[in-house]
Amino acid sequence: MSFRDHINSCNSFDPARVVPLTAGNARLGLLRRDNADVLRRFRDVFAVGEQGVELVAGGSVDAISRTVDGVVDALVAEHRVPKWRNETFAVAPRWEMPPVFRLDRGAVPFFGTRAYGVHLNGYHRRGDGLFLWIGRRSPDKQVAPDKLDNLVAGGIGNGHGVDETLVKESEEEASIPVSLIKHAVPAGAVSYRMETQLGIRDDVLFVYDLETPSDFVPKNRDGEIVKFELIPADEVLDRIRTTSDFKFNVNLVILDFAVRHGLLRPGDPEYLEVATGLHRPLD
Amino acid sequence: MSFRDHINSCNSFDPARVVPLTAGNARLGLLRRDNADVLRRFRDVFAVGEQGVELVAGGSVDAISRTVDGVVDALVAEHRVPKWRNETFAVAPRWEMPPVFRLDRGAVPFFGTRAYGVHLNGYHRRGDGLFLWIGRRSPDKQVAPDKLDNLVAGGIGNGHGVDETLVKESEEEASIPVSLIKHAVPAGAVSYRMETQLGIRDDVLFVYDLETPSDFVPKNRDGEIVKFELIPADEVLDRIRTTSDFKFNVNLVILDFAVRHGLLRPGDPEYLEVATGLHRPLD
């Protein structure tokens, strides 16, 4: 296990195994070929060719979303999509563009549409160094149960903003009041593209840092995190380098924090791979 | 002009226009096809094929370096390489590997071997905000004369370390004493690959930040910078967005600083392109 391994496993994407999901000239997603084949029978919704899958369902955003929902129903029944998450993500060619349709979060990897999240590095400085707030995910989580996590992390649902999601998730996941979270500093984005059992995760994570005061103790409210701990940054990095204790993408978010704050230094043999491996250019 | 334009111009690389320079299984550089053709007559040094150029000169690092120097002499005489810089860069498959040979800095773009540099963002916080130290390059510089620059920047010569280069360049370019530069914080790397008139620049810049005290005023000693100014960060970003006043790669280094320090925020329409466009993964 090494830093490199975590970066590689979040970038296990082979272009030869996928075809684009398009709407006109715009690419909306990346379908693994086996998933694309499954869509052949939904002729009113998708036109499946050798080189790609075209969304042919028309109408308003609501109408297309309802039509695609019908397909997702069938995929859930066949266990190709794990289950309805009842939370929708916007599907658009790019972040700043209006959605073409809304898609249940559970079906996002099947279609390989880009998903956006917010991750908050909570840290505390003391005389004896820099510490990171680390959460342990509930054993009931569908994705990465029991794994270690950032202080706060969440997906950006359809129609919600980045700051808005940060404030909401900080309140629900760690009881961080608005008076504190407003001091969080945006510090970039971590991006990666990986193949999973379900399809393709094409993820962009907006990253924030929050220095927490001495009297702050996070407290989970939504049951998604069972425990928070303040761990010395060096210990966190050692653990990332030598184990898979952290959720796959949280390794990358913390490595980005470590690089930006000089916790990982040019003398480290993996420094350049880390510094250049966390920000997949968007296409 | 936009942030995106600066990122794009530093990534104006078209794989179809180059062939690899190899030594055995390792890639050492990227030769534009016209440059590769020029090497055909140096049969004892390079084997030029349709798919690549193989270094065939053998012997010790010193011996190969001398042999390649002979080729560089001829290229300089033909004005294909601008002139000898009398400063050599190490040529190796990867940063952490020992050099295969040393190459005069002036010939680096011709062969498209990876070059490493150090850039220092000097900044100062006052009640009225964050300011950046900006230098103006001498009109006599071979590359980017008269353009605006970071507080300190320099290439990493063969045999020199990252920290060592930072300390040396900080002294020469801005009279920063060791007692101050030791507080510089490494903050990652900016990487890009671009085609220029001379060939391919495949650059990796180690980035450092230094917060300067109120009584610090930089003073150039080596004649490479004619003037330093402390400019409000917002003004610097406006100028990057709307002009080409800064040296091509300095735009990227300052954008990286802006993203890491929350000066550029997720609401900016170019935020994600900037946050994911400054760190070309190494290959």
Nearest to B259 among A188, A261, A265 (CB): A188
Spell out which residues of chain B touch residue A186, defining contact as CB-CB under 8 Å: 259, 262, 265-266
Q: What local confidence, expressed as pLDDT, does residue A1 receive?
A: 87
B185/A96 touch (CB, cutoff 8 Å), yes or no: no
Nearest residue in chain B measured CA to CA from A265: B186
B204/A272 touch (CB, cutoff 8 Å), yes or no: yes
What's the pLDDT band for A255 if we cut at 50, 70, 90?
very high
Rounded to an integer, what distance in angstroms lies between the CA atom of residue B122 and that of residue B109? 28
Nearest to A276 among B96, B187, B191 (CB): B191
What's the pLDDT band for A239 if we cut at 50, 70, 90?
very high
Contact A69, A7 (CB under 8 A): no
Q: What local confidence, expressed as pLDDT, does residue B17 receive?
A: 98
| Residues of A engaging B, defined by a Cβ cutoff of 8 Å | 95-96, 162-163, 185-189, 191, 204, 206, 259-262, 265-267, 269, 271-273, 275-282
Least confident residue range of A83-97, A110-124, B143-157: A83-97
Nearest residue in chain A measured CA to CA from B189: A275
Q: What local confidence, expressed as pLDDT, does residue A128 receive?
A: 87
Report CA-CA distances (Å) from A227 to A135, B95, B225: 6, 40, 54
Element (H, E) at B75: helix B61-77
Exposed/middle/buried for residue B128 (C-beta within 10 Å: 0-12, 13-18, 19+): exposed
Q: Which residues touch A194 (CB under 8 Å, ≥6 apart)? A: A9, A10, A11, A12, A13, A200, A201, A203, A248
Rounded to an integer, what distance in angstroms lies between the CA atom of residue B267 and that of residue B166? 34
Spell out which residues of chain A touch residue B191, defining contact as CB-CB under 8 Å: 276
Exposed/middle/buried for residue A52 (C-beta within 10 Å: 0-12, 13-18, 19+): middle
A188/B266 touch (CB, cutoff 8 Å), yes or no: no
Q: What mean pLDDT do residues B115-144 have?
A: 96
Chain A nearest C-alpha distance from B4 (Å): 12
Spell out which residues of chain B touch residue A269, defining contact as CB-CB under 8 Å: 96
Spell out which residues of chain B touch residue A189, defining contact as CB-CB under 8 Å: 271-272, 275-276
pLDDT-above-90 percentage for chain A: 97
Chain A to chain B Cβ contacts (< 8 Å): 80
Rounded to an integer, what distance in angstroms lies between the CA atom of residue B163 and that of residue A220? 43
Beta bridge partners of A149: A135
Rounded to an integer, what distance in angstroms lies between the CA atom of residue B160 and that of residue A112? 45
Element (H, E) at B18: strand B18-23
Q: How large is the C-alpha radius of gyration of chain B?
A: 20
What's the whole-model pTM score?
0.97
Is residue A86 scored above 90 in pLDDT? Answer: no
Element (H, E) at B26: strand B26-32
Is residue A70 scored above 90 in pLDDT? Answer: yes
What's the pLDDT band for B26 if we cut at 50, 70, 90?
very high
Looking at every residue in chain B, the average pLDDT score rounds to: 97
Nearest to A279 among B163, B206, B276 (CB): B276
Spell out which residues of chain A touch residue B210, defining contact as CB-CB under 8 Å: none
Spell out which residues of chain A touch residue B188, defining contact as CB-CB under 8 Å: 259-260, 275
Is residue A4 scored above 90 in pLDDT? Answer: yes
Both tokens of A227, joined, read 């425990």
Residue A118 carries which side chain, given as an amino acid letter? V
Query: Which ipTM score applies to this complex?
Result: 0.96
Give a three-class secondary structure readout of chain A: CCHHHHHHHCCCCCHHHEEEEEECCEEEEEEEHHHHHHHHHCCCCEEECCCCEEECCCCCHHHHHHHHHHHHHHHHHCCCCCCCCCCEEEECCCCCCCCCEEEEHHHHHHHCCEEEEEEEEEEEEECCEEEEEEEEECCCCCCCCCCEECCEEEECCCCCCHHHHHHHHHHHHHCCCHHHHCCCEEEEEEEEEEECCCCEEEEEEEEEEEECCCCCCCCCCCCCEEEEEEEEHHHHHHHHHHCCCECHHHHHHHHHHHHHCCCCCCCCCCHHHHHCCCECCCC
Nearest to B188 among A269, A275, A281 (CB): A275
Instruction: Look at residue B130 and give its three-state secondary structure.
Output: strand
Chain A nearest C-alpha distance from B254 (Å): 13
Both tokens of A129, joined, read 């160094």
What backbone phi and psi angles, to 5 degrees, belong to A61? Answer: -55, -45
A279/B278 touch (CB, cutoff 8 Å), yes or no: yes
Spell out which residues of chain B touch residue A163, defining contact as CB-CB under 8 Å: 266-267
Is residue A85 scored above 90 in pLDDT? Answer: no
- Looking at B96-161, list the stretches that DSSP marks H as alpha helix, in order from N- to C-terminal side: 108-111
Is residue B84 scored above 90 in pLDDT? Answer: no
Rounded to an integer, what distance in angstroms lies between the CA atom of residue A280 and that of residue A205? 11
What's the pLDDT band for B118 if we cut at 50, 70, 90?
very high
CA B189 to mean position of chain CA atoms: 11
Q: What mean pLDDT do residues A8-16 have?
A: 98
Q: What local confidence, expressed as pLDDT, does residue B28 receive?
A: 98
The position carrying tokens 């975590």 is A6
Spell out which residues of chain B touch residue A278, defining contact as CB-CB under 8 Å: 279
